[in-house]
Amino acid sequence: KAGVTQTPRYLIKTRGQQVTLSCSPISGHRSVSWYQQTPGQGLQFLFEYFSETQRNKGNFPGRFSGRQFSNSRSEMNVSTLELGDSALYLCASSFENEQFFGPGTRLTVL
């Protein structure tokens, strides 16, 4: 089975812009989660989608949003980018009690 894929792998944006990241889960996995990883805060949960519905949400501002499509692929969007949004954004797909991560998208905000 192919693993979790994320596109793009690297992205450079400027403050105030918006960005959309994409994630394709492992075939058959209906749960897709997004995490933000920074050196100072570690890995923090953003949100989880299951069957096109947001099932859980972390403590991030409304500028962070996501969606899931009928084929389980997911996108997350960050609007009005801030310097502090620079991070590695990780997508993971889950089945039962196991979670598998993609390689991440490295976002740099200038």
Binding mask 44-83 vs another protein (x if CB under 8 A, - otherwise)? xx--x-x----xx---------------------------
* Rg value, the chain, Cα: 13
Residue 98 engages another protein in binding (rule: CB under 8 A): yes
Please answer whether residues 2 and 27 qualify as being in contact, where contact means their C-beta atoms are separated by less than 8 angstroms. Answer: yes
Range in contact with another protein (rule: CB under 8 A) among 13-21, 37-45, 60-68, 71-79: 37-45
Please answer whether residues 89 and 25 qualify as being in contact, where contact means their C-beta atoms are separated by less than 8 angstroms. Answer: no
Residue 32 engages another protein in binding (rule: CB under 8 A): yes
Range in contact with another protein (rule: CB under 8 A) among 13-21, 27-35, 67-75, 79-87: 27-35
Please answer whether residues 86 and 65 qualify as being in contact, where contact means their C-beta atoms are separated by less than 8 angstroms. Answer: no
Residue 97 engages another protein in binding (rule: CB under 8 A): yes
Q: How many angstroms separate the CA atoms of 82 and 57, rounded?
A: 20
Closer to another protein by CB, 23 or 78: give it: 23
Closer to another protein by CB, 4 or 109: give it: 4
Please answer whether residues 105 and 21 qualify as being in contact, where contact means their C-beta atoms are separated by less than 8 angstroms. Answer: yes
